[in-house]
Amino acid sequence: MAKTAAALHILVKEEAQAKALLAQLEKGASFQQLAKKHSTCPSGRNGGDLGEFRKGQMVPAFDKAVFTCPLLTPFGPVKTAFGYHIIKVLWRN
Quick: pLDDT tens for 21-76: 999 999 999 999 999 999 999 999 999 999 999 999 999 999 999 999 999 999 99
- Give the dihedral sign, CA 10/13/15/20: negative
Residues 6+ apart with CB under 8 A from 45: 36
Question: How high is the pLDDT of residue 87?
Answer: 98
Angle at 62 between CA 53 and CA 9, to 5 degrees: 75
Question: How high is the pLDDT of residue 73?
Answer: 96
Q: Is residue 2 over pLDDT 90?
A: no
